[in-house]
């Protein structure tokens, strides 16, 4: 070792003796390096960013840790947590393959979804006013507010034409018809209403134009009453509800609201995303499931929707689910016909659980007016729709379409949507609806 250092010192001497300039250069370099390092050590602080960079992961870890701690400690008292099952692609995308699948091909994986900040308790607090009486009145007021534009379109105009006339004549009837058609009641329903009102007035020998309005209220009520659907019977377990409708009508939102309603009633709910054509659609439904605290089942994007539905029924049976709600696509990006796809889902579900689906709810968008009737006819023909959900009644003047739906379709109206909030799905009650529609603000409630 000694000889090694001696060799280095010897070589350096050799170099410096042959080139004295090198001594100056190396010396000057050494001094500069010393001065600079002293400067950084004494005058410059440590860059603050470096601290942040170190802190960030620590903070993140401790946040995750506290979340876990919280869950461990309070798991007994928590609201039901969302569960996610990812469905293996046990079925090929090929048509009909689902019919062939055996139990051994199916594997359900269960993993926890972290709880969302918004929990059921918080949601309940947000929306539940004090006192039962206040709630009833508040709910009615909300329905009334939701129907205000339809009311303005139908009754505002009717009031105008009736108050201008001294007697009932053919001109008045023409205007009456025009008003009802404009309010999306449809020509056929309007004609029926006119005839019924004419004979009602004739029987009572009423000639005052204002009598038309009261008669209209009664006739609309009796039409709507016939369409008043029985609530979901929920008489079997799992009670399977398939939700269908064209795109954008509010299927997914309705499912979220319905799951919320049923969960509040103490039911164990599972939501299945059989709309596998859009990844965003699955995510949207997952958010609802988390908010409500229901179980959630999804397949990978692009997987056969009937495979997801099939698996959902199996999972519901295994988990003792009270209600399984299946979301479906409103439009397909493949060549497959939407109706054929829906029929297939229904068939597969029925094969796995006799009598299922127990309800096929068709969602219709009130803002589309008479178009909703055409959609309903199409769906009714293809699959046996058992009930209608009419959404977006708030903020549209076309809500009168509900009268045409009741009159023309012979499908019960089970629910109405009057807003985007969780509690904005109502069981359809003809009396409440007509009262809210015809109440001008001066009358008292009875």
Contacting ligand GTP (CB under 6 A), which of 186, 250, 387, 400?
A: 250
Find the binding residues for ligand GTP in span 267-286 (CB under 6 A): 275, 281
Instruction: Please choose which of ligand GTP, Mg ion, none residue 394 contacts, taking the beta carbon within 5 to 8 angstroms, the exact cut-off set by kind.
Output: ligand GTP
Give the distance, in angstroms, between the CA of residue 247 and the centroid of all CA atoms in the same chain. 12
Nearer to ligand GTP, 341 or 352 (CB): 341
Note whether 242 and 355 are within 8 A (CB).
no
Q: Contacts with Mg ion: how many residues (CB under 5 A)?
A: 3
Q: Which does 129 bind (CB under 5 to 8 A by kind): ligand GTP, Mg ion, none?
A: none
User: In the set 153, 293, 369, 417, which binds ligand GTP (CB under 6 A)?
Assistant: 417
- Considering only the stretches 94-102, 232-240, 370-378, 414-422, report the one whose residues sit in contact with ligand GTP under the rule CB under 6 A: 414-422
Q: How far apart are the C-alpha atoms of 152 and 154, rounded to whole Å?
A: 6
What does the radius of gyration of the chain's CA atoms come to, in whole angstroms? 35
Q: How far is the CB of 297 from Mg ion (least distance, A)?
A: 15
Burial string for 89-106 (b: 16+ CB within 10 Å, else e) reads: ebbeeeeeebeebeeeeb
Give the nearer residue to ligand GTP in terms of CB position, either 271 or 418. Answer: 418
Supply φ then ψ for residue 201, to 5 degrees: -70, -40
In whole angstroms, what separates CA 438 from the centre of its chain? 30
Least distance CB 277 / ligand GTP (angstroms): 9
Residues 432 and 442 sit within 8 Å (Cβ to Cβ): no
Q: Least distance to ligand GTP from the beta carbon of 421, Å?
A: 9
Among 209, 229, 245, 299, binds ligand GTP (CB under 6 A): 245
With CB under 6 A as the contact rule, which of the stretches 36-44, 53-61, 103-111, 241-249 interacts with ligand GTP? Answer: 241-249
SS (H, E, C) 161-224: HHHHCCCCCHHHHHHHHHHHHHCCCCHHHHHHHHHHHHHHHHHCCCCCCHHHHHHHHHHHHHHH
Interacting residues with ligand GTP between 303 and 332 (CB under 6 A): 330
* Token duo for residue 152: 């303005």
Per-residue contact string for residues 193-232; x = within reach of ligand GTP by CB under 6 A: ----------------------------------------
CA distance 438 to 216: 10
Instruction: Select from Mg ion, ligand GTP, none the partner in contact with residue 146, using the beta carbon and a kind-dependent cut-off of 5 to 8 Å.
Output: none
User: How far is CA 303 from its chain centroid?
Assistant: 21
Lookup: tokens for 318 = 């295994």
Where do we find the tokens 């629910």? 415
Site string for ligand GTP, 329-348 (x = CB under 6 A): -x------------------
Residues in region 275-334 near Mg ion by CB under 5 A: 281
Considering only residues 376 to 405 of the shown chain, the ones binding ligand GTP according to CB under 6 A are 391-392, 394-395
Q: How far is CA 247 from CA 207, 259, 379, in A?
A: 47, 20, 13
Q: What are the structure tokens assigned to 112, written together?
A: 């926890």
What are residue 297's phi and psi, to 5 degrees? -130, 130
- Tell me which of Mg ion, ligand GTP, none is bound by residue 434, counting a contact when its beta carbon lies within the kind-specific cut-off of 5 to 8 angstroms: none
CB neighbour class for 87 (10 Å; exposed up to 12, middle 13-18, buried from 19): buried
Site residues for ligand GTP, window 156-195 (CB under 6 A)?
A: none
**Residue of 252, 294, 391, 396 that binds Mg ion (CB under 5 A):** 252
Considering beta carbons, is residue 245 or 293 the nearer one to ligand GTP?
Answer: 245
* Two structure tokens written together for 40: 């950084």
The CB-of-445 to ligand GTP minimum distance in angstroms stands at: 24
Least distance CB 275 / Mg ion (angstroms): 5
Q: How far is the CB of 167 from ligand GTP (least distance, A)?
A: 41
Residue 47 backbone dihedrals phi, psi, to 5 degrees: -60, 135
- CB-facing half-sphere around the CA of 200: CA atoms within 13 A: 16
Whose CA is closest to 287, among 255, 241, 265?
255
Q: Beta strands 269-274 and 323-328: pairing type? A: parallel
Give the residue at shortest CB distance from Mg ion: 252
Which among ligand GTP, Mg ion, none contacts residue 294 (Cβ within 5 to 8 A by kind)? none
Tell me if 419 contacts ligand GTP by CB under 6 A.
yes
Rounded CA-CA distance 178/120 in Å is: 47
Residue (299 or 417) nearer to ligand GTP, CB: 417
| Residue 245 or 387 having the CB closest to ligand GTP | 245
The one segment of 88-96, 115-123, 191-199, 415-423 that binds ligand GTP by CB under 6 A? 415-423
Enumerate binding residues for ligand GTP (CB under 6 A): 245, 247-253, 275, 281, 330, 391-392, 394-395, 417-420, 424
Enumerate binding residues for Mg ion (CB under 5 A): 251-252, 281
């Amino acid at each position: 070792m000694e000889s090694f250092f001696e060799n280095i010192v010897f070589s350096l001497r050799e170099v410096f003796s042959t080139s004295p300039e090198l001594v100056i250069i190396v010396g000057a370099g050494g001094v500069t390096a010393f001065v600079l390092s002293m400067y950084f050590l004494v005058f410059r602080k440590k860059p603050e960013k470096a601290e942040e960079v170190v802190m960030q992961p620590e903070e993140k870890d401790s946040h995750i840790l506290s979340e876990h701690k919280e869950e461990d400690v309070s798991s007994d008292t928590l609201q039901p947590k969302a569960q996610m099952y990812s469905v293996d692609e046990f079925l090929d995308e090929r048509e009909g393959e689902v019919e062939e699948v055996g139990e051994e091909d199916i594997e359900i994986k269960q993993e926890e979804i972290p709880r969302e900040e918004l929990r059921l308790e918080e949601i309940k607090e947000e929306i539940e006013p004090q006192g039962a009486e206040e709630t009833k009145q508040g709910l009615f007021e909300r329905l009334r507010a939701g129907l205000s534009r339809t009311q303005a379109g139908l009754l505002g105009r009717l009031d105008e034409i009736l108050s201008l006339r001294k007697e009932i004549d053919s001109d008045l009837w023409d205007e009456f018809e025009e008003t009802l058609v404009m309010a999306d009641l449809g020509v056929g329903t309007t004609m029926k209403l006119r005839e019924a009102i004419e004979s009602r007035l004739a029987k009572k020998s009423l000639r005052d134009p204002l009598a038309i309005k009261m008669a209209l209220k009664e006739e609309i009520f009796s039409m709507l009453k016939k369409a008043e659907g029985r609530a979901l019977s929920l008489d079997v377990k799992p009670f399977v509800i398939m939700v269908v409708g064209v795109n954008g009508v509010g299927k997914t939102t309705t499912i979220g609201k319905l799951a919320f309603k049923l969960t509040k009633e103490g039911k164990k709910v599972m939501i299945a995303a059989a709309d596998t054509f859009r990844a965003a659609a699955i995510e949207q439904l997952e958010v609802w499931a988390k908010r409500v605290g229901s179980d959630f089942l999804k397949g990978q994007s692009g997987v056969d929707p009937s495979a997801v539905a099939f698996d959902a029924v199996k999972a519901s049976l295994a988990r003792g689910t009270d209600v399984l709600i299946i979301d479906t696509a409103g439009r397909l990006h493949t060549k497959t016909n939407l109706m054929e796809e829906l029929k297939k889902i229904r068939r597969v579900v029925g094969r796995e659980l006799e009598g299922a689906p127990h309800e096929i709810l068709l969602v219709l968008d009130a803002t589309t007016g008479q178009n909703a009737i055409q959609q309903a006819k199409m769906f009714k023909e293809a699959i046996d729709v058992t009930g209608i959900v009419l959404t977006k009644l708030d903020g549209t003047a076309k809500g009168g379409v509900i009268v045409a739906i009741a009159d023309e379709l012979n499908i019960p109206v089970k629910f109405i949507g009057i807003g985007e909030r969780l509690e904005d799905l109502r069981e359809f009650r003809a009396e409440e609806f007509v009262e809210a529609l015809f109440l001008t603000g001066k009358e008292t409630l009875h």
